Amino acid sequence: MPLDHRTLVHIIDLEGSNIMNILARCVLEMYTFDANPDDISRDNLMRQSVELIAKFPTIIAYAYNIYRHSVQGQSLNIRHPRENMSIAENFLYMLKDENYTELDARMLDLLLAIQAEHGGGNNSTFTVRVTSSTRTDTYSSIAAGIGSLKGPLHGGANIKAINMFHHLKEQIQDWNSVDEIDTYLNRMLNKETYDKTGLIYGIGHAVYTKSDPRAIELKRLAGELAKEKKLVKEYEFLKKIEEEGVKCITAYHKGNKAICANLDFYSGFIYEMIGLPQEIYTPIFAMARIVGWTAHRIEELNFEGRRLIRPAYKNILDSKKYIPLAER
């Protein structure tokens, strides 16, 4: 049976409430619809990759529509993708019918491009490369990548950033007051308020320090979309939080740590302006990152001298005397 958009409706688990888990299950299920699922030749990997990239938007959109119906009790709407639309346009159409603007589609398209790849060092891409090095099938490897991306410290960070922004909008009375903003952000850093983690979400990155080029571009795009949505005041407040947040964190670490806003600081704000629900923020990240994942997998399996990627652990404990089981 061919895996078309109608078949996808039947393989999506209606009982699931986490779209990332549903996405992973659907990817694993796609193995059974593939005539050559274990073939790791370059041509077959290319075919599988293109099919995954094409199907991710439909799986995510259908999964969310079914979630709205089964969990939230709303009407069930299944709209089949259209051939004359881009990936971003089709995704918005399947989710929202025609209730989106040309700028919404352009913004989502650019956001998908920005999020598609971030080097092999990020956790989910490395997961795909590690599993690919074992020569497992494409679907198992990509499902592992989805599991990695699901974690709140990786793909879920933009939700933490936008929720923090909503909290700050309520707690800070004067959005133009640097003193009030700094006072509250410093209380967050001292674990006195908000979620008491000592973090300002969306600021800081393991690789980017002085600037994150992705965040710089998203900041510009967010400003363009804010004008259309009449949310310029909120946008200016978000920029002020970024500026003061960087200053506060730098001072907190006594200037010993260069820091900048990262991709997640503005991406959640853009998703929200487009009208996308938080339940699919991380799945959208997967929809973008599938391009990078499959590219890395193809490279991993098609270079000379490829070897199994395996970690090396070093025991740093002192030697201990063996105690027989009966004496423990």
Contact by Cβ (8 Å): 8, 55: yes
Break the chain down into helix, strand, coil percent, rounded to 5.
60, 0, 40
Distance CA(240)–CA(243), nearest Å, equals 5
Contact by Cβ (8 Å): 61, 85: no
Q: What is the dihedral of CA 134, 140, 142, 143, to 10 degrees?
A: -130
Distance CA(19)–CA(266), nearest Å, equals 22
Pull the structure tokens for residue 109. Answer: 């398209």
Distance CA(108)–CA(285), nearest Å, equals 11
Cross-strand pairs, 203: 261
Total Cβ atoms within 10 A of residue 223: 16
Pull the structure tokens for residue 163. Answer: 């929720």
* Sign of the Cα pseudo-torsion (192, 195, 196, 199, in order): negative
Q: How many CA atoms lie within 13 A of 284 on its CB side?
A: 31
State the catalytic residues. Answer: 205, 264
